[in-house]
Structures are given as C-alpha cells and as structure tokens.
Amino acid sequence: MSDEANRRTVRAAFEAWQDGTGAITDLFAPDMVWRIEGRSAAAKEYGSRQRFVEEVLAPFGARFADGERFRPVRIRSVHADGDTVIVVWDGSGVANDGVRYDNTYAWVMRLRDGQVVDGTAFFDSIAFNDLWERVTPG
C-alpha cells in the first residue's frame, strides 16, 4: 500500500474509535508484535494481538466500565512513510472511581496489507501507572 493509503487506513480506524463506531483492535493483525516503551506497569513486548488485548487493552478498558469510555479526543497528527504510520493523539475517559484520565500518546506502527504487524507506544507512564494502581477493573 502507498504512504497515503496507509495514512488513510490508520486515520479512519482512529476516527471510528473516536466516534465509537469501531474498535482500534480491528487494525491489528493477529500476529502483531506490540511494544510499550518506558517504565509503566505495562511496559514490555507483547507477541500477538491476543496477548496485547488480554494483558493491556481489556484490563485498561475495564477501568472505565462504570464511567465514560476511554477514547481518542484529539488526533493531533497522522504521518506516513512507506509502511510506517505515526499517530500522535490525546485520549481521555472517566475511570470507575469518577476521576478523569487524560494522556497523550505516540504510536508508531508498521503495516502490512492494511493491518498493524509491529507497533510501539509512547505515553506518560506516571499518569498510566496512577490509573492502573488506583482503579479496579469493572
């Protein structure tokens, strides 16, 4: 796929997630490798979409089950260079304890046939860890 096609694919997935009409996981290939950089409680490499969803995304989302779902509220930029797409975005939601969680993310993703096969996430680990430790999944 071209740079522009990859950029459009990723932007559409993020906009669907933002609007509540799609799941970002639809963009992930089953054999995807995902890394969370830094020192957050979730920082490590995940060897498949299933492991990433089970160990991070599902328990993260469950921390918003009784509040306002977490979602992108601002897509700052989407850049593409060949099969690599970088998205800088702001996410927000109200956690189960009633406290708003806000964070800014940079996701670097390599696509193959319109799906992410390799991804790396950067974000404020202090804010993430606070949520992860403070809020019980619903």
Domains of the chain: 3-134 (3.10.450.50)
pLDDT digits (tens, 9 = 90+) for 55-112: 999 999 999 998 899 999 999 999 999 999 999 999 999 999 999 999 999 999 999 9
What mean pLDDT is predicted for residues 29-40? Answer: 98
Chain centre distance of CA 38: 15
What mean pLDDT is predicted for residues 21-29? Answer: 97
pLDDT number for residue 45: 98
* C-alpha dihedral (99, 66, 73, 121), degrees to nearest 10: 90
To the nearest whole percent, how much of the chain has pLDDT over 90? 96
Handedness of CA 90, 62, 68, 16 (dihedral sign): positive
pLDDT digits (tens, 9 = 90+) for 39-49: 999 999 999 99
pLDDT score of 138 more than 80: yes
pLDDT score of 51 more than 80: yes
pLDDT number for residue 67: 86
What mean pLDDT is predicted for residues 120-137? Answer: 97
Handedness of CA 42, 44, 48, 51 (dihedral sign): negative
Please state, rounded to an integer, the average pLDDT across all residues of the chain: 97
DSSP β-ladder status, 115-123 and 28-36: parallel
